């Protein structure tokens, strides 16, 4: 079994920062990319950021570009999301996801094989 465990969510004021972590454990699995998605109340889950595991290429949703930074630590089997200049519209449950083999894109949640349980991020205005 593969487990992804997120940590680091919480409550922050608008303009503040939070850092999320996602640790992978369990059996060894091939990994093309890892990503963060989020889901706000009453909305569809949406792409936030992704990173290719082999070369570290990064991809961002337009809504977070310039404010969020995704990174990885291969040795620790972990990925991170640094969120700066947070806005109330960033409030959501944030999910860590892993795509085992290349499936055509990093942007769509149905292409990811493994998911964490989610961590709540609340930005107060």
Residue-wise pLDDT for 79-112, tens only, equals 999 999 999 999 999 999 999 888 889 999 999 9
Confidence (pLDDT) at 124: 97
CB of 57 closer than 8 Å to CB of 50: no
CB of 60 closer than 8 Å to CB of 68: yes
Q: Quick check: helix, strand or coil at residue 97?
A: strand
* pLDDT exceeds cutoff 90 at 2: no
Confidence (pLDDT) at 69: 98
28-56 pLDDT, tens per residue?
A: 777 889 999 999 999 999 999 999 999 99
């Amino acid at each position: 079994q593969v487990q992804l465990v997120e940590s680091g969510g919480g409550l922050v004021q608008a303009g503040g920062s939070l850092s999320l972590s996602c640790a992978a454990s369990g059996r060894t699995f091939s990994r093309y990319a890892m990503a963060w998605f989020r889901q706000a109340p009453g909305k569809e889950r949406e792409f936030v950021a992704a990173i290719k595991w082999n070369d570290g290429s990064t991809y961002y949703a337009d809504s977070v570009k310039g404010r969020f930074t995704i990174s990885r630590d291969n040795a620790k089997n972990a990925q991170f999301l640094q969120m700066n200049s947070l806005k109330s519209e960033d409030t959501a449950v944030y999910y860590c996801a892993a795509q085992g083999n290349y499936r055509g894109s990093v942007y769509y949640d149905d292409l990811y094989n493994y998911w964490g349980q989610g961590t709540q991020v609340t930005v107060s205005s």
